[in-house]
A and B are shown apart, each in its own frame.
Chain A
Amino acid sequence: MPSPDPLAPPEIQSQPLTLDAISHSYGDALAVNEVTLEVRAGELIALLGPSGCGKSTLLRIVAGFINQTSGRVVIADRVVDSLPPNRREVGIVFQSYALFPHMTVAENIAYGLEARGESKATCRERVSEMLATVRMEGFADRKPRQLSGGQQQRVALARALAVRPRILLLDEPFAALDKNLRLDMQIEIKRLQRQFGLTAILVTHDQDEAMSIADRIAVMSKGRIEQLGSPVEIYDQPETLFVNDFIGSSNRFAGVIESAGEGAYGVRLASGALWNVASRKAFAPGDRVVATIRPEQLVLTDQATDGSIPVTLKLSLPIGGELIHDVETRSGEAFKVAAGRRPGEPVSPMAATHCALAPHARPVLFPQPAA
C-alpha cells in the first residue's frame, strides 16, 4: 500500500464534537452553566446570543484556551480536556482575523504546517493549494495590511484549513466586514466547510449570520442553551419568550386562555379578539398568556373579520421590498405589520382600520412571565 500522499485532497472524514455538561465560572460569575451539546460530524452549529451569554467562553473551552470548571469536551470519541490548544487540531477564524502582521500571506498560511514540522516542499505546495482554494493566488507575498477585510478573512480561513483541522471554530467571523461582502463570505465559508467536511461551530450575535449558514442554531442566554434547532424551527416555533424576542421581530399580545382543546387553545386578547392558537404547551382555561406573532403573519384590512383587531395606522416605512406598518390598538398597544410592497403602490394603504391574522399565520403562546 503506498504511503498516504500528504497533499492528496482531504478525505471527507468528519468528526463529531460533544460538549458534555460544561460549566465554567470566572470567580463567582457563572459564565457557562451545564451546557450539553452534540455537534454531528460535518455539521455547522451556530451559538447565537447576546454578548455575555457565554458563547465565546464555550468556544475558548473547545479550543483549549480556557479549562472549564467542570464537564468534558469530546472530539471524535476522545476526551481532549487535558490537551493544550496546540494539540487539539482545532482550526479557528478570529473576529480580528489575527493574521500575523509581520509575515506575508504565504508565511501566515505556512505557520501551522511549519509548527507541525512539515517539510519545506510540503509547506510550499500546501500554501499554493490553499491560496487556490480561497481564490487568493497572486497574493502570496503581500503583507496582511495590504489586503482588504474580505481578503484578510480568506487568508485567515486558508491558514486555519491548511493544517487540516478536525473542528473549525468561527468567532464572529463576519462582524468586521461590510454588509455586501458579508453574504459572499458566508457562502464562501459554507462552501469550504462542506468541501473539507468540517464539523464547525460559529459564534455570533447576528441572527442573520446564524440563519443563513448554520445547520442548527443553539440560542444562548445567561450561560445556558435556551433552544437548539434548525433555523426554521427556531424562527417558527420559539420555545421561550427570550428566543422569540431575540430572533427576528415579533409582536406580543397579552391574553387569557378561554378554551382548551386537542393541542389548540382559544385565546381572548386584551382587544377583545379571539384567536385560535395551536400549541404543544399545556395551559388551562383562565391562564394568562402572551401570544406572539411575526409582523409578516399579520394583514391590514378595511373591515372587521373573524379575530381581527381594530387599529389605527400610525406610520408606514418602505424598507426595500417590504412595507413596515406601525399600528396601534385602541388601548394603545403598538405593534408592527409587514407586507410585500408592489412597485408603484402608495406607501400607506389609507383605509386600514383592522388587523387580522394572515391565512398561514402561526401565533405562538407563552405563559405570562412573572412581573
Chain B
Amino acid sequence: MSGAATSETAGVEWRLAAPLGLTYLAFFAAPLLILLVMSFSVDDNLGGFSLAAWAKFWGDPFYRGVVWDTLRLGLVTVAMTTLFAYPIALLFIASGPGLQRLLLFIVLLPLLTSVVIRTFAWIAILSREGVLNQALLALGLTTAPLNLLQTELGLVIALMQIEMPLMLLPLITVMQQIDPSLSDASRALGGSKWRTFRKVILPLSLPGWIAGATLVFASATTAFISQTVIGGARLVYLPTLIWQQAMVVYNWPFAAVASVTLLVAVLAGVSLFAMLGRFARTTA
C-alpha cells in the first residue's frame, strides 16, 4: 500500500523536475557545448577544427597574466571579506534582536541597490577628488590625493562592499547554529576569548565560510561591471577580455577560449575552497 504510493510519487517526481531540467539542457548545457566547440573552430560559424585560438591565448604572457590577475582578484577579495566578515558575524551573534536587525539591514543594503548605482557611488568615493581622498587630505594623513580608481586596491575595496552579504549571510547562518554554551564551556575550562574563537568558533563556522568564500570568489572573478567601471582600461580581467573579444574584436573562437578558461578557473577556485574546508576540519 505505502510501497505503491511511494513508487507512484517517485514516478511523478522526475516529471516535476522535467521543465527545469529541459530548460537547463536547452539554455545552459547546449550553449556550453557550443562554446566548447567554438573554441576549437576556425571562425564563428563553427567551421573547421583548429587549436589556433588556444595556442594564441596560452602562448601569450599577456593573456596568461589576465588569467592570473582574475584568480588573484578573486582570492584577495575572499581574503578581505573574510577578514571583515568574522568580526561582524561575531558582533551579530552577540547582539540583541534590535541590533541584529540593524546589522542585517546594513549588510543587505548592497544587494538592495542596483549594481550600476553602487559602482558609480564607489567612483564618487574613490576618485582623486572623491570623498575618501578629501577626508584623508583634511585629516593630514596624506599630502597628495591617492590614486585608488583603476587600481586593484580600489577595485577590491568596492568589491568587498558588494560581495560582503554573500560572505556574511552563510557565515551568520552557520554561526547562529553553534550552541552558545560551547563558548561558555571553553571559557569556563580556562580558554581565553582568542582561544575560544580559534579552537571552537572558527572550526565550527567553516561550513559557512566555505559557502561564503565560494560565492564571493565566483562573484568577484566574474563581476564585469565593477571590473570595467572601477578597474577601467588599465586593469583587464577575463570578463572584460571576453567582452572585448566577442563584441569589439569579433573574434568568437578566442572569446570562447577565454570563456572556457574563466569557467574552469572559477570551478577550480570553488573546489579549492571545498578542499581547504575538508582539510581544516580533519586536522583542527
Contacts and interface: CB of A to CB of B under 8 A. Distances in A.
B203 interface: yes
B-side interface mostly: helix
A306 to B, nearest CB: 57
Interface in A62-113: 63-65, 84-92, 94-96, 98-102, 111-112
A86 B188 CA distance: 5
A98 B199 contact: no
B187 to A, nearest CB: 4
Given A102-B204, A102-B284, A112 B189 contact: yes
Nearest to A109: B189
A313 B131 CA distance: 87
A116 interface: yes
Contacts of B284: 102
Contacts of B281: 102
Contact of A102 (B188, B190, B203): B203
A92 B190 contact: no
A277 B164 CA distance: 73
A24 interface: no
Contacts of A85: 184, 187-188
B184 A94 contact: yes
B186 interface: yes
A115 B191 contact: yes
Which has the most chain A C-beta neighbours within 10 Å: B188, B200, B203, B281?
B188
Contact of B181 (A96, A111, A115): A96
Contacts of B195: 115
B182 A98 contact: yes
Interface string B194-212: 0100011001100000000
A166 interface: no
Contacts of A90: 188
A238 to B, nearest CB: 33
B109 interface: no
B179 interface: yes
B191 A111 contact: yes
A100 B182 contact: yes
A170 interface: no
Nearest to A171: B181
A115 B188 contact: no
B91 interface: no
B113 interface: no
A63 B190 CA distance: 11
Interface residues of B, number: 19
B192 interface: yes
A224 interface: no
A102 B186 CA distance: 13
Interface in A30-50: none
A163 B189 CA distance: 7
Chain A interface category by residue count: 20 to 34
B284 to A, nearest CB: 6
A343 to B, nearest CB: 44
Nearest to B183: A98
Contact of B184 (A88, A98, A111): A98
A159 interface: yes
Contacts of B179: 96, 98
A116 B281 CA distance: 24
B188 A92 contact: yes
A91 B188 contact: yes
Nearest to B280: A102
Nearest to A91: B188
Given A98-B181, A102-B203, A111 B186 contact: yes
A41 to B, nearest CB: 20
Interface string B207-228: 0000000000000000000000
Which has the most chain B C-beta neighbours within 10 Å: A89, A102, A116?
A102
A101 B191 CA distance: 17
A111 B204 contact: no
Contacts of A101: 204
Contacts of A99: 185
Contacts of A163: 189-190
Contacts of B204: 101-102
Contacts of B188: 63-64, 85-86, 88, 90-92, 160
Interface in A106-143: 111-112, 115-116
A179 to B, nearest CB: 24
Interface in B81-120: none
Nearest to B195: A115
B41 to A, nearest CB: 51
A153 B148 CA distance: 57
A330 to B, nearest CB: 54
A310 B270 CA distance: 82
B190 A115 contact: yes
Contacts of A63: 184, 188
Given A102-B203, A102-B204, A102-B284, A94 B185 contact: yes
A94 B181 contact: yes
Contact of B189 (A84, A96, A102, A111): A111
Interface string B171-187: 00000000101101111
Contact of A112 (B182, B190, B192): B190
Nearest first, the 4 closest Cβ-Cβ pairs linking A and B are A112-B189, A98-B185, A85-B187, A98-B181
16 contacts: A63-B188, A86-B187, A86-B188, A86-B189, A90-B188, A91-B188, A95-B181, A99-B185, A100-B200, A102-B203, A111-B191, A111-B199, A115-B189, A115-B195, A159-B189, A163-B190
Given A102-B284, A160-B189, 7 more contacts: A63-B184, A98-B179, A100-B186, A112-B189, A115-B190, A116-B190, A163-B189
Interface of B: 179, 181-182, 184-192, 195, 199-200, 203-204, 281, 284
